[in-house]
Amino acid sequence: MMAGRTEPVVGTPHGSVRGRYEHGVAVFRGIPYAAPPVGPRRFRPPVPPAPWDGVRDATAFGPTAPKAPYSEAFAQYLSDPAIPGDDCLNLNVWTPEPGPGARLPVVVWLHGGALTRGSSAVPVYDGRRFAQNGVVCVSLNYRLGVEGYGLFPDAPANPGLRDQIAALEWVRDSIAAFGGDPDRVTLAGQSAGAISTGALLAAPQAQGLFRRAVLQSGAPEASDRDKVRRMVRRMAARLKIPATAEAFAAADRDQLLRAQAEVGRLSSPVLGGPAFGIVVDGDVVPRDPLEALVEGDAAPGVDLMMGWTRDEYRLWLVPGGLLERVDRLGTVALAGARARCRCGHEVVRGYRALHPDAGTAEIVGQLVTDHLLRIPMHRLADARPGSSYVYEFAWPSNLPDLGACHALELGFVFDSGDAPESRRLAGEGAPQELADAMHGAWVRFVESGDPGWAAWDATHPVRVFGAGEPTVAYGPRDAEYDLWQADVTTRGTRSRRLVRR
């Protein structure tokens, strides 16, 4: 490698790239890990980028995947820069020591955004603090929405997930030149990025590409194939084209994005609705990822760290005033939540008893959060005791009504609270000592697999990051978990009785 303090240059399998030094670390942005997904490559698996001669400039973020902007209600809280261009399959590297001799641990970051929004260019995800703490940080873009997760009869499923595998293969082949150790890679993601991480844990093509994994506010899951097909068919009906990859590839991209936004506007983690998701495809996702992991059929020997925020649902309900509307709906909203979570009346009554002072929106929000996140993570930790670590982020935002909401923890994970985009969720005056604790736990896990508290066992230790020093609570969500377990047993008994009749 050739390096100067102003322009570090590193060779990759496809050509050399020039970054720059910022805050004492070397930063490379917009490096292509796959060819632009345009023309005949739209809706197809990724292929390697064309090699280039000379030294490619890598000082600015590359194009982001095509996406619709957030609604005004969400945009006040969430940053989502859009950078035009076709070459959207790119990644970024922050490293304290470019060169093949360092062999530093690596964290690879998968952004969230419901598989329809987000990018690696969000300022909250600045990787410099990881690099300053001796960790090579990689973040990447992948295809979103219908181009990444549409389901068609004439194209392979899950191209967005295949993009992520291609990026991990790039890390395996290239990261040593940036100072990283390809045998010490941690894959980490939040929300849709965590769901993707869960799928990659179980993907045969991703085995051996990472050693540890972090799932923040997202559990392994597979979406219903018919639900994803309906999303595509509704878009096709609006566009007046066949529901095929060939027809969608020929359509104007801006029209696709408008149709996607219109069809998906009622989608919500709390309310459900049409949405894109990772599906079982018999290839990259051979079976439901959670079941594969719980049954021990995937990712043996991979250390896990999993976490959620105390009030995930508040980011889903506060923007646009949905929180108040759910409270007004009362029993109607509770009935909808029960249907959404596919649980019995006893679960809802149990939550009411456990949280007698909670309003309807809080009960609904916690029910859905447990159904989507905490219960699957609890199952996964139970299946992998001794190598799983669980935490809860409980510090409430300084902004009204948000509480410890979904995505609030990210400014603390990356220790990027000085960015204006972090303050959109946290408000002013977020505690630096909490960022030190949260970021430090992630660094320790990436380095050693031990974030600094006891691994999951029969006592169910959960590290709680809130005001003041972090603490460990034992089984803080066990009462809710027991309600779900009893409900599964009861419904199973009912089903057996119906069969006998």
Distance, in Å, from the CA atom of 460 to the CA atom of 454, rounded to the nearest integer, reads 9
- Given the residues 111, 371, 378, 406, the one annotated as active site: 406
- Given the residues 119, 139, 174, 191, the one annotated as active site: 191
Compute and round to an integer the Cα radius of gyration of the chain: 22
Distance, in Å, from the CA atom of 309 to the CA atom of 287, rounded to the nearest integer, reads 28
Half-sphere exposure of 94 (CA within 13 A, CB side): 25
Distance, in Å, from the CA atom of 215 to the CA atom of 292, rounded to the nearest integer, reads 16
Residue 191 appears among annotated catalytic residues: yes
Residue 406 appears among annotated catalytic residues: yes
- Given the residues 14, 79, 97, 312, the one annotated as active site: 312
- Going through 54-127 in order, the beta strands assigned E by DSSP cover 55-57, 90-95, 104-110
Six-digit token pair at 14?
A: 């496809």
Distance, in Å, from the CA atom of 392 to the CA atom of 464, rounded to the nearest integer, reads 5
Question: What is the pairing mode between strands 180-190 and 212-216?
Answer: parallel
Half-sphere exposure of 270 (CA within 13 A, CB side): 25
Which residues are 149's β-sheet partners?
none
Which residues are 21's β-sheet partners?
26
Residue 312 appears among annotated catalytic residues: yes
- Going through 292-331 in order, the beta strands assigned E by DSSP cover 303-309
Name the strands in the sheet holding 461-465, side by side, starting at the edge strand that comes first in the sequence.
20-22, 25-32, 90-95, 136-140, 104-110, 180-190, 212-216, 303-309, 388-393, 461-465, 471-474
Buried b (16+ CB within 10 A) or exposed e, 342-356: ebbeebbebbeeeee
Name the strands in the sheet holding 15-18, side by side, starting at the edge strand that comes first in the sequence.
9-12, 15-18, 55-57
Distance, in Å, from the CA atom of 408 to the CA atom of 422, rounded to the nearest integer, reads 8
Active-site amino acid positions: 191, 312, 406
